[in-house]
Amino acid sequence: MRGNPEVVDYLNMLIGGELAARDQYLIHSRMYEDWGLNKIFERIDHEMQEEASHADALIRRVLFLEGTPNMNRDDIVTGEDVVTCLKADLALEYHVREKLAQGVKLCEEKGDYVTRDMLRQQMNDTEEDHTYWLEKQLRLIELIGLQNYIQSQM
């Protein structure tokens, strides 16, 4: 089924963001594991897998719309410690959320309601799961202190 070229191009741009999120979560999860922070490792590893599934869904949709997926990922920011990793991941989620919202609007304008619904679901994951959890971790660090937070993640 031939899709709207603007929608296909936008989906390709979104693929780059999801691949970047996947890779950034991958490196951060492995850093947490190396530091012995098993709880946060498990959560971030789970987030990495979700980002990979988001990228997969976008790739499949581009193929369905008779486009060619663009596998060039956006740049990533690798943190140096727990706080900078969490802040980098949160900044990435804010960026992805904004791009998904713009994609929903574009799909609405072009009448591609199936793609719109797919992007809404990904936006829901981004807002209510990933972003909220990262914000909560940074608030916990402010409330209980970094050392107590790190101890809770072991």
Q: How many domains does the chain have?
A: 1
Structural domain of residue 65, as residue ranges?
A: 5-152
51 assigned to a ligand binding site:
yes
109 assigned to a ligand binding site:
no
CATH number of the domain within which 93 lies: 1.20.1260.10
46 assigned to a ligand binding site:
yes
Q: What's the pLDDT at 126?
A: 85
**pLDDT tens digits, 115-139:** 999 999 999 988 788 999 999 999 9
Q: pLDDT tier at 67 (50, 70, 90 boundaries)?
A: very high
Q: Taking the model in full, what pTM does it have?
A: 0.94
95 assigned to a ligand binding site:
no
Average pLDDT score over the chain: 96
127 assigned to a ligand binding site:
yes
Q: Which residues contact 105 (CB under 8 A, 6 or more apart)?
A: none
Cα 122 from Cα 58, distance rounded (Å): 10
On the question of pLDDT at 66 being above 90, the answer is yes
Q: What's the pLDDT at 127?
A: 79
